[in-house]
Amino acid sequence: MIPAGTPEIMAALITALGGIVAATIAAVAAAVIGNQVLGRKRLEARLNLALHDIQFLLEVERQHCSLHRDREEQSYKILMRRHARNNGYRWSGKFTAQPGNTPT
């Protein structure tokens, strides 16, 4: 019988533990990287949804202004945006498409 403290058994034990540790590190790294990629894709999908919502709201504003213009000879767009600014809202305009272009 081979005693537990022999160099051959210790070497085999160290090799086995090294393999387990290496596999664990690789699995954790893959999970972290996969989670980052998945999180980025979710964020990108939410951004695209928000851009489409902005596009929709701008179209609603355009239609509403057109209705006012037809009925009252003015759109009130500037007045309504001024009221929004006075209520603490700010419009950067950075994330809106030019007329005729649609965000992806």
Q: Is 31 a member of any domain? A: yes
Chain centroid to Cα 13, Å, comes to 46
Counted domains in the chain: 1
Cβ pair 9, 17 in contact under 8 A: no
Q: Is 104 a member of any domain? A: no
Q: Is 73 a member of any domain? A: yes
pLDDT confidence band for 97 (50 / 70 / 90): low
Q: Which two tokens stand for residue 86?
A: 């006075």
Q: Is 71 a member of any domain? A: yes
Q: Is 95 a member of any domain? A: no
Average pLDDT along the chain? 86
Q: Is 92 a member of any domain? A: no
- Domain range enclosing 50: 8-86
Q: Which two tokens stand for residue 16?
A: 């086995």
Name the 3-class secondary structure at 74.
coil
Q: Is 91 a member of any domain? A: no
Cβ pair 68, 74 in contact under 8 A: yes
Q: pLDDT digits over 13-51, tens only?
A: 899 999 999 999 999 999 999 999 899 999 999 999 988
